[in-house]
Amino acid sequence: MLSQATMSQPHGAVRRFATVPSQPVSLNSLFGGQPVETFEPGTAVFWEGDEARHVFEVVEGALRIFRILSDGRRVITGFLYPGDLLGVSLKDQYLYTAEAITRTKLRRYEHGRFQEEINRSPELRPQLFACLCDEMAAAQDQMVLLARKSAEERVASFLLLIARRLGGDERQPVIEIPMTRLDMADYLGLTIETVSRTMTRLTNCGVIAPSSRHAMVVRKLGKLAMLAGEADAGDKDALGGRSIQQAVWPN
């Protein structure tokens, strides 16, 4: 819904679409001429295993990217927002399904031509490379979350990610959560019940204050960061910087 972009997320691409100055060639500007296509909530843009014919740019809305195990277990490997690119990872088949969460608008670019453009432009290449690296970094964060974090830390990490993404630097950001509890659960490797209980607990602690089912105010951003287990911890607002290695830490 909101049109801000940038959050290194699996499959995402970063890049701010809205505020492109026009002259400089950016990845997103590539899509400028393409017609906008609309996808209703719950509809798939493509399926895992489909031949990978296009690259997409998210113009508006939100999508989930997921894979499904043979017995139905679903794993959401990422969410996409305006400005993100979709389907860049090549191979000749898509390796995940992409589905619209809200009503979503996309621009499409033929895969081969996309590759050509990238190849041709020495400006675009490093941008794409940087995108992939952000994506890789996000994937690693997610592996850390899934491998070693508790339910509370997972939910807190998720909310924090969203808050930083579209809450900007505000101390008590209002955040929109377009996805359902089931989406969150499948992203965080939990069940809906556990997600729900954890959110309730966060509410009772005064860390968050829900305004509707899909929106809330983060009242204690610093506390949320602490709960997320990311070692930045400062009580007020965290500096986005990835702070590393402090083996021992009070607080």
Residues 1-60 touching a second copy, rule: CB under 8 A, are: 1, 10-11, 47-49
Give min distance, CB of 54 to a second copy, in A: 16
Q: Please report whether residue 156 would count as binding DNA according to CB under 7 A.
A: no
Q: Please report whether residue 69 would count as binding a second copy according to CB under 8 A.
A: yes
With contacts defined by CB under 8 A, how many residues of the chain interact with a second copy?
54
Q: Of these, 176, 181, 219, 222, which contacts DNA (CB under 7 A)?
A: 181
Quote the CA–CA distance of 12 and 114 in Å, as a whole number.
16
117, exposed or middle or buried, with CB in 10 Å at 0-12, 13-18, 19+?
A: middle
Q: Which two tokens stand for residue 65?
A: 């990217």
Dihedral angle sign, alpha carbons of residues 215, 220, 221, 227: negative
- What does residue 151 show for φ and ψ, rounded to 5 degrees? -55, -45
The residues, ordered by sequence, that sit 6+ positions from 234 with a Cβ below 8 Å of its Cβ are 222, 225
**Residue among 60 and 152 whose Cβ is closer to DNA:** 152
Quote the CA–CA distance of 138 and 133 in Å, as a whole number.
9
Q: Please report whether residue 67 would count as binding a second copy according to CB under 8 A.
A: yes
Q: Please report whether residue 103 would count as binding DNA according to CB under 7 A.
A: no
**Contact positions vs a second copy (CB under 8 A):** 1, 10-11, 47-49, 67-75, 77, 89-91, 93, 95-96, 119, 122, 125, 129-130, 132-133, 135-137, 139-140, 142-144, 146-148, 186, 188-189, 229-231, 233, 242, 244-247, 249, 251
